[in-house]
Amino acid sequence: MKTLYLIRHAKSDWGRAELKDIDRPLNARGYSDAYKMSSVLREKKIAPDLIITSPAVRAISTALIFCRNFQIDASQLIINSKLYDTSVKDYQNCISKIENNFSHVMLFGHNPTIADCAESFLTIFTEEIPTCGIVGIRSNAIKWSDFPEKKCELLFYDFPKNHLA
């Protein structure tokens, strides 16, 4: 069994027009939501073996917060350039190349591609994933290369507004 957590980056800061899109940082709510959602997963005893992220600053920052909350050394974070401004096929290729010794993988990316990727695995999933939203997907695949072809099931779909104080 393989479990994939597709996570959209947390809320970014649009306040600096001179920055390229890839360089936009998180805003205050983004930092708060990333801590909140990583804590929600930790409380559910969900922990990744591997974390992969887009090279965008907002995605890396979100992934680093999850690393910190799961006590994973930041040097283990994998940055994959094919997860930025790309296609579902590129996301699926990234997933298919994950080493098979990993069973629980978190992948940080961007809408609409990350939502479309979730829909490609779960034909019943048609949501637009909000910032820092998480889709947990389990497959009966033994190898990551078989993940797209095997039956996938939705474990959960969660996002920050579900956890307002």
- Residue 165 — very low, low, confident or very high, per pLDDT cuts 50/70/90? low
**Closest listed residue to residue 2, CA positions, set 164, 135, 144:** 144
- Residue 164 — very low, low, confident or very high, per pLDDT cuts 50/70/90? confident
- Residue 150 — very low, low, confident or very high, per pLDDT cuts 50/70/90? confident
Distance CA 110, CA 139 (A): 22
pLDDT digits (tens, 9 = 90+) for 131-147: 999 999 999 999 999 99
What does the radius of gyration of the chain's CA atoms come to, in whole angstroms? 15
CATH number of the domain encompassing residue 122: 3.40.50.1240
Task: Show the CA angle centred on residue 57, arms to residues 40 and 93, nearest 5°.
Answer: 80
Per the structure, the complete domain to which residue 50 belongs is given by 2-163
**Closest listed residue to residue 84, CA positions, set 63, 100, 70, 105:** 63
Please say if the pLDDT value at position 92 is more than 90. yes
CB within 8 A of 165, min separation 6: which ones? none
Distance CA 77, CA 22 (A): 18
Q: What is the mean pLDDT of the chain?
A: 95
Percent of residues, the chain, with pLDDT higher than 70: 99
> What's the domain count of the chain?
1
Residues in the chain: 165
How are beta strands 50-53 and 152-158 bridged, if at all? unpaired
